[in-house]
Amino acid sequence: MNPTNLQLVGTILFAMAILHTFLVSKIQHLAHKYPEGSMMENLLHFLGEVEAVFGIWSAIFLAYYTATQGLMVLDEHHKVIGGALKYLEQDLNFTEPAFVFVIMCMAGTRPIILFAEKIILTIAKVIPLPGKMAFYVATMVVGPILGSFITEPAAMTVTALILLDYFYSNKMSDKFKYATLGLLFVSISVGGTLTHFAAPPVLMVASKWHWGMGFMMGNFGYKAVVSILISTLIIAFMFRKELEGKLEIKQKHDNWMVPTWWMTLIHLIFMALVVYTAHHMVFFLGLFLFFLGFTSVTREYQDEIKLKESLLVGFFLGGLVVLGGQQAWWLQPILTQLSDLTLFIGAAGLTAITDNAALTYLGSLVELSDGAKHSLVAGAVAGGGLTVIANAPNPAGFGILKGSFGKDGISPLGLLMGAIGPTILVMILMELLPNLVAH
């Protein structure tokens, strides 16, 4: 397939954006050489934000699109039939970035975090391990599996915030932090596969391929749970010296107020409604405005809503949608010409450089055998922890935890090294464990 000029420019800019993500720590380091608060320092800090990278390069692409195709082309009835506006409004779908923004804001609230902490603390008490290690294992197993029910972005937000409070302190080594980050990203990516509505790469194909909850549980979900358990226990054992001793409960400030049961219930209802209407942006954005009103009324029981962090993540994913829409010309031929095993390995590798939901979406546009469908989705979820762009929830965890890695932030190579072990394990299990449900 010969690409058009637009597709070629889109692919070049996509490659530049990926390269940019590997240079952000260098750009942040450069920013410190300028006076604090100066325009140059602020500009370099912005260019060094991973969450801003794809938004910046997509803006360049849209400028090129407008220059060559026009802003909008109208027919005789004044209907938009071409130009950059048509591409944004009719050819692309920004529901997922908007959904991740809303669910990240809701999941990062005090009532939801405390609710998740209570569940994890309760489970940690029955794990026959020392206090701190038991809480770590419970967090890294329960958090990602919750993603199958409260969606992966919500699970990522909750788990990352608990890790930030209890484990990402100065006492823990960078080696531990990177190993945990890699484990978190991989576990979240596969942890949403027990259901057909929680993991973005599954969401893209489930209705078209008629995959229900039973099919997901029997062919992906149980393998994911086994993988998460084994990976977590291995990492916990590797860092047992750092995880020994009692768990230190996070100290609250004096005027900190514990949300009541009914406040937590209302938060959970809001989240359930947003998850239920995840495909309907107009509805869940309206719900979000009511949610902001409720948090304003109960302000003394709330922490500040993470609007900036969530918006940056939405901006990142929006940019990924804009540039990802131009990659079909080279991705689709690859997906249709590979054997099942090669497709499985190839999908895991391609996921590292292109969002796994975009990959499965492109797969849904071509005719694939049942074996190829399974290989594509298994590879896409298995490789979802290798880079920050591999899985839609990753930027949420990245944004929450990056401050714990010093001035230079999270190294893409460090993340890759932390994720490679759990990724290989989940790939082996996805391939070797039997599928329990026939299509």
Residue 167 lies in a domain: yes
Query: Could you give the percent of the chain with pLDDT greater than 70?
Result: 97
pLDDT one-digit tens code per residue, 36-85: 889 999 999 889 887 788 899 999 999 999 999 998 887 777 787 888 99
Domain, as residue range, for 363 = 95-432
Compute how many other C-beta atoms are within 10 angstroms of the C-beta atom of residue 34: 15
Same domain, 85 and 114: no
User: Is 331 or 270 the better-scoring residue by pLDDT?
Assistant: 270
The C-alpha atoms of residue 405 and residue 387 are separated, in whole angstroms, by 16
**Predicted local distance difference test score (pLDDT) of residue 219:** 94
Residue 281 lies in a domain: yes
3 state DSSP class of 65? helix
**Confidence band of 409 (pLDDT split at 50, 70, 90):** confident
The candidate with the shortest Cα–Cα distance to 16, out of 43, 56, 70, is 56
pLDDT one-digit tens code per residue, 265-321: 999 999 999 988 988 999 999 999 999 999 999 999 998 898 887 888 788 888 888
**Confidence band of 100 (pLDDT split at 50, 70, 90):** confident
Task: Note whether 268 and 112 are within 8 A (CB).
Answer: yes
pLDDT at 400 over 70: yes
pTM for the model: 0.82
Average pLDDT, the chain: 89
Domain final residue, candidates 91, 115, 143: 91
pLDDT, average across residues 93-103: 87
pLDDT, average across residues 162-167: 90
Same domain, 210 and 230: yes
Counting beta carbons within 10 angstroms of the beta carbon of residue 338, is it exposed (0 to 12), middle (13 to 18) or buried (19 or more)?
A: middle
How far separated are the first and last CA of the chain, in Å rounded? 32
Same domain, 128 and 75: no
Domain final residue, candidates 45, 68, 91: 91
Same domain, 48 and 171: no
pLDDT, average across residues 13-40: 86
Same domain, 74 and 41: yes
**Predicted local distance difference test score (pLDDT) of residue 108:** 86
**Confidence band of 150 (pLDDT split at 50, 70, 90):** confident
**Predicted local distance difference test score (pLDDT) of residue 170:** 65
User: Is 399 or 2 the better-scoring residue by pLDDT?
Assistant: 399
Residue 437 lies in a domain: no
pLDDT at 248 over 90: no
**Predicted local distance difference test score (pLDDT) of residue 252:** 60
Characterize 170-209 residue by residue with b for buried, 16 or more Cβ atoms within 10 angstroms of its Cβ, and e for exposed.
eebeeebbbbbbbbbbbbbbbbbbbbbbbbbbbbbbbeeb
Same domain, 12 and 128: no
Domain final residue, candidates 48, 67, 91: 91
The C-alpha atoms of residue 179 and residue 316 are separated, in whole angstroms, by 24
Number of domains in the chain: 2
pLDDT, average across residues 137-161: 91
Same domain, 203 and 263: yes
**Predicted local distance difference test score (pLDDT) of residue 81:** 80
Same domain, 332 and 261: yes
Please name the residue ranges forming H helices in 278-368: 281-297, 307-324, 328-337, 340-351, 356-364
**Predicted local distance difference test score (pLDDT) of residue 386:** 94
Task: Note whether 219 and 436 are within 8 A (CB).
Answer: yes
Residue 19 lies in a domain: yes
**Confidence band of 253 (pLDDT split at 50, 70, 90):** low
pLDDT at 1 over 60: no
User: Is 316 or 147 the better-scoring residue by pLDDT?
Assistant: 147
Same domain, 21 and 43: yes
Residue 356 lies in a domain: yes
Residue 439 lies in a domain: no
* 12-16, 246-250, 300-304, range with the lowest pLDDT: 246-250
Same domain, 22 and 131: no
Same domain, 114 and 86: no
Same domain, 35 and 128: no
**Predicted local distance difference test score (pLDDT) of residue 16:** 92
Residue 270 lies in a domain: yes
Residue 438 lies in a domain: no
**Confidence band of 206 (pLDDT split at 50, 70, 90):** confident
pLDDT, average across residues 398-415: 87
